[in-house]
Amino acid sequence: MQDRGWWLGVALSGALMVMAGAFGAHALADQLTPRLAAAFTTGVRYQAWHTLAMLTVLAWRAASPLVGQRLMLGLWAAGMALFSGSLYAMALTGLERLGMVTPLGGMLLIAGWLALAGAILRQPRVP
């Protein structure tokens, strides 16, 4: 299977996202301040959307491999780790300083979307 490692990573990200969402909704519901609960929920939401985006790019890549698709995947994976990961860590530890990492993760997520735009623009137009 082409890109087996990426497929495995996306599957694990999806599983982690569901577990984090359930953990946040049940185990942490009464433990976090509203601000930290919102941060945790934002981490889950961004992980969900970018896991879905990675799944879509992997399916696209399986049908039509293009330059830039692996770059998108890498940027989104790193972005999720830093963005969602820092929000999870901040909520679980209460160390709001960890939130300083979140914008870096956000920039990587944005860069992944710009890499998608670049890959699309490099493709020849079909009449």
Domain boundaries, the chain: 4-121
- Whole-number Å distance between alpha carbons of 116 and 67: 10
- Residue 21, Cβ density class (10 Å: 0-12 exposed, 13-18 middle, ≥19 buried): middle
- Summary mean pLDDT of the chain: 95
Structure tokens at 118: 């670049």
For residue range 14-68, list pLDDT tens digits in order: 999 999 999 999 999 889 999 999 999 999 999 999 999 999 999 999 999 988 9
What pLDDT is attached to residue 76?
A: 98
3-state SS string for 52-118: HHHHHHHHHHHHCCCCCHHHHHHHHHHHHHHHHHHHHHHHHHCCHHHHHCHHHHHHHHHHHHHHHHH
Residue 123 pLDDT grade (very low, low, confident, very high; cuts 50, 70, 90): confident
Confidence at residue 29, expressed as pLDDT on a 0 to 100 scale: 84
